[in-house]
Amino acid sequence: MIAAEQVTFARGHRPILADVSLSFHPGELSVLVGPNGAGKSTLLRLLAGLLPPDRGTVLLEGEPLDRLARRDRARRIGWLAQGAQAAWGMTVREIVALGRLPHGDGSAAAIDRALGRLGLASLAGRRIDRLSGGEAKRAMIARVLAGEPRVLLLDEPTANLDPAAAFAVMRLLREVAAEGRAVVVVLHDLALAARFADRIVLLSEGRLVADGAATSVLCDSTAGRVFGVRFGAGHAVLPA
Amino acid sequence: MTRALGLAAAVLALLSLATGAAGFGLLDPVVLWEVRAPRTALAVLVGSGLAVSGAVLQGLLRNRLADPGLLGVTGGASLGAVLAYYWGLSAALPIALPAGGLAGALAAAASVLAVAARAGTGSALILAGIGVAAIASSLVAMALSLAPSPFALAEITIWLLGSLEDRSWRDVWLATPAVAAGLALLLPLGERLDALALGEETAASLGVSLGATVARAAFGTALAVGGGAAVAGGVGFVGLIVPNLLRAAIGERPGRLLVPCAFGGAALLLAADLAVRLAPLRQELRLGVLTALIGAPVLLVVALREARAA
């Protein structure tokens, strides 16, 4: 559904991604992992069309992303920034409603659905800057869901969340994927990745290192080597 | 709230028509039509242009301290008007003064955009604006220090303080198209400003073209503020105060502030212009002095509140 083909990207002379080819499919919850600076967030931005690749192309349902109209792209791809924050004390509902902007319909039904799925119905009228970090994060995720995009690209959606809330968000993302959407998530928590991902993509220094099921990627010889850790029972992460 | 502000502006406009040196009342058609009506119309135009521009810039830059003055537009208008004085154009042709002001405002906005458009971000806009404002103010200072006569110096200085005294319909006809075109560019930006509350990249992911939004905001501000500054001189702080006062009353979503700010800005400037006429002073207080006297403390309060929230 969304594919990067031999994508290369550099900032000045510093290479960020080198010749990465990947495709993500509907119904699949994929998790991008890798050490800081591996290029995970940059890859999400390229897939979202927020950065143009230096070489290579990104295809959305077979069409080059840069040929799509802005709004059309925005309707089909939802992107959540790492550490997303609102500049103003807008209400939760106002934030979530922004997800409908590319559709231009302000659909109350879609907004209510998104609020409900993240358990925010009772907080809809509250100012986002008066909420806890976890509640605000959920509002940001609900904003992406409200757009009902076919592709969801989420950069660390579980940061700031306690374990139970993180599980709830990952379970929800699995449900969203099961509706026939492609969901791509950047996570730092490898145990969480192992528990929920249909597929784990491991990046290191801008290159694709491994791509497959949790059992094949999160083992001492692949992810263990890249992160400098080893894995215990149940994908527990241990010092090397 | 919008209705209440509109009503307040209408009542203040009526009071403005009824108040003046010729006494209180609506009876003398000449005074009403030739003196008070243009003055009232200009207060509405200048006030709404400034307040809407302030609300747009604050939304664009995600900063409640942003003000049209920061974009260099007011500075450019001052410089244009001062040059018209300086070269004696305004003595030969009265319309040269406001026309110079408007030309200066547009030139300032064009230079700001030429620099900021490459980066296409809000922070580039503000940096370029501060640069252009500094150039304009140093050139104004230069013109003042080289003023041909003390009379010219006094006249320029007083013009720079801002006023709506003795304005005619000619000024209204000059300012109206600019301010109206500016408002027409700025008022529909609401949705895009809402999206920008989540940051420039998130707004882009929602389909907002950042470069086009920055350009439209800058050009709209140049027209809305420049048109006003060209005929009223340097009236500051309205663009800063009105959005901040209204935010407390109607919520912080940037797009929701724009229309109320148009009425709120008109109401504030009508009230301030009434106050300068009614103040028991030997000479009429300059409007720009009064708005600065009100605005600066508001700025301090906002800054204090920000510091406490941080």
Judge whether B168 and A50 are in contact, CB under 8 Å: no
Q: Considering just the CA atoms, what is the radius of gyration of chain A in Å?
A: 18
Q: How confident is the model over A145-203, as pLDDT tens digits?
A: 999 999 999 999 999 899 999 999 999 999 999 999 999 999 999 999 999 999 999 99
What's the order of all strands across the beta sheet hosting A14-24?
A14-24, A2-11, A55-60, A63-64
Of A87, A89, A143, the CB nearest to B62: A87
**pTM for this structure?**
0.92
Report pLDDT for A9: 97
Mean pLDDT of A104-111: 95
Nearest CA in chain B to A154: B202
Report pLDDT for B120: 65
Judge whether A178 and A27 are in contact, CB under 8 Å: yes
Q: Is A95 on the interface with B (CB under 8 A)?
A: yes
- 106-165 in chain A: CB under 8 A from chain B: 127, 140, 143, 147
Residue with tokens 């994927």: A177
Cβ neighbours of B4 (radius 10 Å): 13
Judge whether B242 and B55 are in contact, CB under 8 Å: yes
- pLDDT mean across residues, chain A: 95
CA distance B310 to B299: 16
Show residues of chain A in contact with B197, CB under 8 Å.
Answer: 86-88, 90, 95, 98
The alpha-carbon gap from B113 to the nearest alpha carbon of chain A, in Å, equals: 22
Report pLDDT for B219: 87
Q: CB distance A50–B197 less than 8 Å? A: no
3 state DSSP class of A92:
helix
Mean pLDDT of A214-235: 89
CA distance A38 to B104: 49
Report pLDDT for B113: 79
- 8-27 in chain A: CB under 8 A from chain B: none
pLDDT tens by residue, chain B, 310 residues:
889 999 999 999 999 998 887 778 777 888 888 889 999 999 999 999 999 999 999 999 888 878 888 788 888 988 998 888 888 787 788 788 888 888 898 899 888 878 876 766 777 878 888 999 999 999 999 988 887 778 778 877 877 888 888 888 988 998 999 999 999 999 999 999 999 999 999 999 999 998 899 889 988 998 999 889 888 888 888 998 999 989 988 999 999 999 999 999 999 999 999 998 888 777 778 888 888 888 888 778 877 877 787 6
Name residue A135's amino acid.
E
Q: How confident is the model over A116-136, as pLDDT tens digits?
A: 999 999 999 999 999 999 999
Residue among B266, B302, B261 nearest B1 (CA): B261
Judge whether A38 and A204 are in contact, CB under 8 Å: yes
